[in-house]
A and B are shown apart, each in its own frame.
Chain A
Amino acid sequence: QVQLVQSGAEVKKPGSSVKVSCMASGGPFNKYSFNWVRQAPGQGLEWMGAIIPIFGTPNYAQEFQGRVTITADDSTRTTFMELSRLRFEDTAMYYCARGPVLPVGVVLVPKYYFDYWGQGTLVTVSS
């Protein structure tokens, strides 16, 4: 049974950084994408970036370039999202979400829809 379990809620000051973890159980770890999606209070969903452990190189949304770092640790089946230079408007629920990577012939092709989600981590930026 696949589960994504995220780290607990955080309260941070403006200008600081936060690092959120997401541990995956069930299924092979390195043949999926692990994505980070955030949701501000009462708002919609916003994709921040993703990593595919078997490929290693993360992709980020332009809006977060330079502030977000997504990494993966195969040994602990954990992905991490670090967001720096926090602003009040970064207050949100942060979700990790898994996406399939499918073989097409001999090539692995990521399909960036999200079949499993973590429970969410609330990050509050407050002075």
Chain B
Amino acid sequence: EIVMTQSPVTLSVTPGERATLSCRASQSINNNLAWYQQKPGQAPRLLIYGASTRATGIPARFSGSGSGTEFTLTISSLQSEDFAVYYCQQYHNWPPLTFGGGTKVEIK
């Protein structure tokens, strides 16, 4: 099973600032990585797949990078609606598909 580790667990950011979230895989997953955003009481929403491709309707301030074992989600200028929990997920080796533990982006 591929273990996904996200850091930090909590990220405090001032609106308008950049946020950088990290995700590490326990073995190479090439670029088979997705990022999701989840707000309280809602289902997750796909942001990024293929490590760097934005999903339909996702604003350009969200960008993904990385390959192999190290990945980054960057939110270039945080808006109020971006405060949420973010999960990475690998789909390189399965079963099982595995998620990281999440990073909560909160208002500083």
Residue numbers in A under 8 Å from B100 (CB-CB): 44
Taking CB as reference atom, which chain B residue is nearest A96? B43
Cα–Cα, bound, A97→B87 (Å) = 15
Residue numbers in B under 8 Å from A114 (CB-CB): 34, 36, 44, 46, 89
Number of A-B contacts (CB under 8 A): 60
Residue numbers in A under 8 Å from B99 (CB-CB): 44-47
| B: number of interface residues (CB 8 Å) | 22
- Among B19-27, B65-73, B75-83, B90-98, the stretch that binds chain A is B90-98
Taking CB as reference atom, which chain A residue is nearest B85? A44
Cα–Cα, bound, A112→B95 (Å) = 10
Contact of B98 among A47, A49, A111, A118 (CB under 8 A): A47
| A: number of interface residues (CB 8 Å) | 24
| A88-127 interface bits toward B, Cβ cutoff 8 Å, 1 = contact, 0 = none | 0000000101010000000000011111011110000000
Residue numbers in B under 8 Å from A118 (CB-CB): 43
Contact status B101-A44, CB under 8 Å: yes
Cα–Cα, bound, A59→B55 (Å) = 25
Cα–Cα, bound, A49→B98 (Å) = 11
Taking CB as reference atom, which chain A residue is nearest B102? A44
Contact status A95-B43, CB under 8 Å: yes
Cα–Cα, bound, A119→B49 (Å) = 21
Contact status A119-B43, CB under 8 Å: yes
B interface list, Cβ under 8 A from A = 32, 34, 36, 43-46, 49, 55-56, 87, 89, 91, 94-102
- Residue pairs across A and B with Cβ atoms less than 8 A apart, 8 shown, are A44-B102, A62-B95, A95-B43, A97-B43, A113-B46, A113-B89, A114-B89, A117-B43
